[in-house]
């Protein structure tokens, strides 16, 4: 089910909602039906407002937390506040001075209030307030051996009221769960887990597909993923498979996939250089393939298998090198590990129906693929490699629901919040994923969304537009350029997504020149304008206005133009939350201190005037900050 939120101009009377045609065609499933289960409407204020009319739309307790400076773990409570004054009401009906939002409750105490600095009539703000559970008065007296005051148990249902500048907003009490209980096995516990703030704020990640498939690194560009080489070689194993034909011609029929092992050398790979690259391109996290569908692991798989890079190929623990280098030299990066749940041809795996008659080097006889391979391997990624993210692939049979609770509790005890994507085969996930369309692998690319998707999501694609793994058949000029990558990033971020751009290193660990140069150019742009990306929230009213995209922070509004602002002018007819006196600047080279002129015209059009000499020093996307004053 998909929850969809849409802003409606609250100065107008809603008389009807026209739904799309009952059936819509989709490349993925043919025809889909749209069923609407419920619609919630928020009323506008009936009065002619001369002051903001703030109304709480929702209060939701989360399992996210922040560790405060004194070490306190504050639970985050999300509060959605509307200014239900009409959008056409004048400035007097806007919030223009800081409003402090907190919670009052018998069971929780606010330790981290939120501040709203600006809220226009008809607009909405989502804020988080940090709370800790209170101590119950007196009760401790009766419990022998415990301190006099007992904290309210984590997980206690409680009521809260919202206060504005210390005054309760209304008598309305909201239900929350006070405190974050330990996780336990069971969907009702798992489903309370959600995407962490670091992931919401990171916005840009670097994906790496690297393994044995980087040696042959071939398919007809644009037809298949090159990392599926072994699969497409044998499915079908005849002349109708281009990979089968290619393999026969280049390597001969007697050359098995595992014969590629020695050519996966990694001899040009340096983990510190790699994590430096991640930082230089402006990514806040990376996700590296620890084991793809061919079953070859880049980490120490212990007793579960010998099919890994410690025993074959480079004879190195590549994942350990990367995690250590990140920890030592780029500790601000979050570390993600990709893990394919199935192996196509593992002798103990149900997928082996179509297995070619080839060796499965390094296979260790096991009773049960899930218990003896998947479980210990995932646990190694959690506890030995301390991943911040499990980026599963494929889904299907899984052990994650049985082992995730211990992982979450263990990470939390160290103040860390770990996440898992939506391809782990579980009934729970922390965020949705979408992959790029490739013929033969057709999937919805969610960056085509026109409005924000409320559930956190991440879109991934290759810098080779057709493949995640390196493909020798893709000409360098076909690779994604900086313009494309930056505009995709900005578009996705304006709709509440993260963008995970992929590179496919060669067998020796080199990043091919077109990926390297375009990503480094993206990094240069992010150094200059990244504040309009990292840590931002989408704008409730609209994500886009033709080539403009919008992002917000508590103290500023950002406008990003995906095309060159002709004549140096940015204009929009949308009800931007900006008032005279707000300070506009261009986030360009050395221009961030130069204040720009802007105005609302008489017919309500926002016009911003930038210096073209400054604009021309920047390429691809032009970002403006308008700080609330
Ligand atoms: C709805 O479908 C009908 C029949 O396919 C088509 O004629 C019509 O233009 C569609 N309407 C919209 C709004 O797409
Ligand atoms: C290749 O194998 C597939 C599946 O077995 C079969 O459908 C197809 O006809 C074969 N094509 C050729 C050219 O032999
Ligand atoms: C690594 O491999 C690439 C592509 O195969 C090659 O061009 C490059 O020279 C190699 N680098 C080193 C240091 O071996
Ligand atoms: C990272 O460094 C911290 C201390 O700075 C240490 O506790 C942790 O075990 C390290 N993790 C890895 C994977 O090296
Ligand atoms: C996989 O193949 C092996 C050998 O052909 C067979 O013994 C085993 O039962 C198969 N496993 C599954 C799960 O089908
Ligand atoms: C998902 O939920 C269904 C229905 O409760 C249950 O049968 C199934 O085992 C669950 N799957 C997983 C992987 O936990
Ligand atoms: C960048 O790639 C896009 C297509 O993704 C293309 O339209 C554009 O011309 C390219 N820009 C440059 C400078 O090559």
User: How far, in Å, CA of 512 to CA of 471, rounded?
Assistant: 10
Ligand 3 contact, 154 CB (< 6 A): no
pLDDT tens-place string over residues 540-580 = 999 999 999 999 999 999 999 999 999 999 999 999 999 99
Residue closest to 438 by CA, chosen among 30, 31, 29, 27: 27
Average pLDDT over residues 513-525: 98
Ligand 7 contact, 481 CB (< 6 A): yes
Residue 437: per-residue pLDDT: 43
For residue 348, the CA-to-ligand 5 centroid distance in Å is: 6
Nearest CA owner, ligand 2 atom 6: 236
Which ligand 6 atom is nearest residue 400's CA?
13
pLDDT tens-place string over residues 403-440 = 999 999 999 999 999 999 999 999 999 998 875 544 43
Please write down the long-range contacts of 352-356, taking CB distance under 8 Å and 24 or more positions apart: 354/234, 354/235, 356/230, 356/233, 356/234, 356/237, 356/257
| H helical segments located in 450-495 | 482-493
User: How far, in Å, CA of 496 to CA of 457, rounded?
Assistant: 7
Report whether 393 contacts 209 (CB < 8 A).
no
Contacts of 113 (CB under 8 A, 6+ apart): 100, 101, 102, 129
- pLDDT band with cut points at 50, 70 and 90 for residue 17: confident
User: How far, in Å, CA of 255 to CA of 622, rounded?
Assistant: 52
Ligand 6 contact, 427 CB (< 6 A): yes
CA 416 from centre of chain: 17
Pocket test for ligand 2, best of 232, 234, 236, 242 (most atoms within 8 A of CB): 236
Ligand nearest the Cα atom of residue 380: 4
Rg (CA), the chain: 27
For residue 350, the CA-to-ligand 5 centroid distance in Å is: 7
Q: In the structure encoding, which two tokens stand for residue 180, read together?
A: 């974050």
Q: Which domains does the chain have, with CATH numbers?
A: 48-181 (2.60.40), 201-532 (3.20.20.80), 539-627 (2.60.40.1180)
- pLDDT band with cut points at 50, 70 and 90 for residue 48: confident
Average pLDDT over residues 270-297: 98
CA distances from 541 to 146, 394, 553, 574 (A): 51, 35, 14, 8
Comparing 221-235, 434-448, 488-502, the range with the smallest average pLDDT is 434-448
CA distances from 72 to 67, 100, 153, 162, 309 (A): 6, 21, 16, 22, 41
For residue 112, the CA-to-ligand 4 centroid distance in Å is: 29
Give the residues across from 606 on adjacent strands: 572, 600
Nearest CA owner, ligand 5 atom 4: 347
For residue 292, the CA-to-ligand 4 centroid distance in Å is: 26
Ligand 3 contact, 34 CB (< 6 A): no
Residue 100: per-residue pLDDT: 98
CA angle 496/499/502 to nearest 5° reads: 165
Ligand 5 contact, 347 CB (< 6 A): yes
Q: In the structure encoding, which two tokens stand for residue 188, read together?
A: 């009702």
Ligand 7 contact, 483 CB (< 6 A): yes
Ligand 4 contact, 323 CB (< 6 A): yes
User: How far, in Å, CA of 33 to CA of 416, rounded?
Assistant: 41
pLDDT tens-place string over residues 235-258 = 999 999 999 999 999 999 999 999
Average pLDDT over residues 610-614: 96
- Predicted TM-score (pTM) above 0.85: yes
């Amino acid at each position: 089910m998909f929850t969809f939120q849409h802003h409606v101009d609250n100065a107008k009377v809603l008389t009807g909602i026209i739904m799309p045609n009952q059936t819509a065609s989709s490349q993925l499933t043919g025809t889909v039906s749209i069923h609407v289960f419920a619609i919630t409407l928020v009323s506008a204020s009936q009065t002619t407002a001369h002051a903001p009319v703030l109304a709480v739309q929702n209060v939701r307790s989360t399992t996210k937390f922040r560790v405060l400076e004194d070490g306190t773990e504050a639970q985050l409570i999300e509060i959605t506040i509307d200014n239900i004054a009409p959008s056409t009401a004048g400035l007097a009906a806007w919030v223009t001075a800081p409003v402090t939002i907190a919670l009052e409750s018998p069971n929780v105490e606010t330790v981290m209030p939120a501040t709203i600095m600006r809220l226009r009539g008809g607009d909405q703000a989502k804020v988080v307030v940090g709370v800790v559970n209170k101590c119950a008065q007196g009760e401790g007296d009766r419990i022998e051996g415990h301190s006099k005051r007992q904290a309210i148990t984590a997980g206690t249902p409680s009521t809260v009221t919202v206060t504005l500048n210390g005054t309760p907003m209304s008598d309305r009490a909201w239900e929350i769960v006070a405190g974050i209980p330990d996780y336990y096995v069971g969907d009702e516990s798992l489903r309370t887990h959600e995407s962490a703030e670091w992931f919401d704020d990171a916005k840009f990640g670097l994906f790496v597909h690297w393994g044995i498939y980087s040696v042959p690194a071939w398919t007809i560009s644009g037809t298949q993923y090159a990392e599926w080489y072994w699969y497409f070689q044998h499915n079908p194993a005849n002349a109708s498979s281009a990979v089968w034909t290619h393999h026969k011609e280049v390597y001969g029929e007697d050359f098995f996939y595992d014969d590629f092992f020695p050519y996966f050398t990694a001899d040009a790979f340096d983990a510190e250089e790699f994590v430096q690259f991640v930082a230089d391109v402006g990514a806040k996290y990376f996700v590296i393939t620890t084991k793809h569908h061919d079953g070859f692991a880049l980490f120490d798989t212990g007793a579960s298998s010998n099919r890994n890079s410690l025993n074959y190929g480079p004879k190195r623990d590549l994942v350990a090198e990367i995690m250590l280098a990140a920890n030592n030299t780029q500790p601000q990066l979050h570390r993600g590990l990709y893990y394919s749940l199935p192996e196509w041809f593992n002798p103990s795996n149900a997928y082996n129906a179509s297995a070619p008659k080839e060796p499965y080097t390094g296979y260790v006889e096991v009773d049960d693929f899930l218990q003896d391979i998947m479980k210990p391997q995932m646990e190694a990624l959690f506890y030995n490699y301390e991943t911040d993210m499990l980026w599963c692939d494929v889904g299907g049979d899984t052990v994650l629901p049985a082992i995730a609770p211990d992982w979450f509790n263990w990470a939390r005890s160290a103040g860390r919040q770990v996440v898992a994507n939506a391809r782990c085969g579980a009934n729970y996930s922390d965020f949705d994923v979408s992959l790029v369309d490739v013929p033969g692998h057709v999937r919805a690319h969610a960056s085509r969304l026109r409005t924000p998707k409320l559930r956190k999501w991440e879109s991934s694609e290759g810098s080779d537009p057709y493949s995640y793994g390196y493909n020798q058949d893709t000409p360098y000029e076909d690779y994604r350029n900086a313009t494309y990558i930056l505009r995709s990033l900005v578009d996705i971020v304006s709709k509440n997504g993260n963008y995970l751009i992929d590179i496919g290193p060669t067998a020796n660990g080199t990043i091919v020149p077109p990926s390297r140069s375009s990503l480094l150019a993206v990094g240069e742009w992010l150094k200059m304008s990244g504040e309009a990306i990292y840590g931002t929230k989408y704008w409730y009213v609209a994500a886009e206005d033709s080539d403009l995209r919008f992002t917000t922070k508590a103290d500023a509004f950002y406008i990003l133009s995906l095309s060159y602002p002709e004549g140096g002018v940015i204009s929009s007819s949308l009800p931007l939350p900006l008032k005279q006196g707000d300070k506009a600047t261009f986030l360009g080279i050395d221009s961030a201190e130069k204040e720009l002129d802007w105005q609302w015209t008489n017919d309500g059009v926002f016009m911003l005037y930038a210096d073209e000499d400054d604009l021309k020093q920047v390429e691809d996307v032009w970002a403006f900050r308008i700080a609330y004053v």
